[in-house]
Chains A and B, each alone.
Chain A
C-alpha cells in the first residue's frame, strides 16, 4: 500500500506511515490551520491499513506541542488503533515525551485511559 511521508513544519507534524518498512510515526508540532484537512488522509490511510495490517504495529507519537483541536484528531487516530487491537491484531502505542514536560506525559496518560490499546510511555531528554 502507499506510503505517507509528510515533512514537518513549524505548525504541522512530521508524519510517516510506511507499512512495508514498519514505520508509523507522528512527531513534532501540531497546530495546523485546518486540522481536519491535515488529519483526514492519515485517518483514511489507517482505515485502509486496517484491512490488511502487519503482524505487529508499533505506532509512535513523539510530539512536542499540539493544540486542542489536534488533540481531538489524535484521539481519532488512537481510536482507529484501538479498533485494530480489538480485531485481534498486535498493536502497541509508543508515547514519547520530553523528560521535563509533565503536560505531555500527562496527555499520554489521559489517552491511555481513554483508549483500550497497549500503551508505553517513554521519556527522553532533548539534546
Chain B
C-alpha cells in the first residue's frame, strides 16, 4: 500500500468500526469454523452475557443457537475459490446485541443445486407451530441418520424451537454456480 492507500485503509477501519457500532455487533468473524473456534466464541459470548447479567434462559438460548449455527457452517458451507485453492467450511459469523434482542447471523457459500432443497426445509420449519416443531424434531431424531460429517438434520429445527421465531434467510447470487446464504436468528432478551 502506498501512502494514499494506507490513509484510505485507515479511514475504512474507522468506518468499519462505526458500522459495527451502528449495527450493535459484538462479535464478527470470517474464516474457517473449527471446533476450537466454536468453543472460543461460545465461551466469550457466555462471559459477556454473564457480565451483562443476562437471564439464565436467554444465555442458554443464545448458546444453543450459536453452537448450531457454527456447526452448520463447519459441516455444510460449500467450497469456493479457484481450482487450485478451494475454501470449505468457511463463512461469516456475527453476534449483535440490541436493547431488546440478540441476533446470531451466519453467511456462507452454497452451490445452486442445493438451494431448492434447503429452502424447502427452512420453509417447512417456518410453516410449523410449536407443537409441529416438536413432532418434527422427534421424528427426525428417531428416523434421521447422522451424516458423515456428524450432522443430525436437527439444527434448524432446534433454532426455531429455542427462539420461538421464524428462520429469516436470504440467498444472494455470487456467480453462476453459487449463492451466498444468510441466516439470522433472533433471541428476545425479555424472558
Contact = CB atoms under 8 A, between A and B. Distances in A.
Given A10-B39, A10-B43, A72 B152 contact: yes
Nearest to A74: B141
Nearest to A109: B134
B60 A103 contact: yes
B146 A35 contact: yes
A69 B150 contact: yes
Contacts of A72: 141, 144, 146, 152, 154
Contacts, number: 56
B67 A103 contact: no
Contacts of B32: none
B164 to A, nearest CB: 11
Contacts of B24: none
Chain A, interface size category, equals: 20 to 34
A67 interface: yes
A106 B43 CA distance: 25
B141 A71 contact: yes
Interface string B127-156: 000000010011001101010001110110
Contact of B150 (A10, A35, A100, A101): A35
Contacts of B157: 68
Interface string B95-121: 000000000000000000000000000
A73 B154 CA distance: 12
B26 interface: no
B144 A67 contact: no
Contacts of B54: none
A36 interface: yes
A37 B151 CA distance: 13
A69 B35 contact: no
Contacts of A69: 71, 146, 150-152, 154
Given A67-B67, A69-B71, A114 B142 contact: yes
A102 B57 CA distance: 9
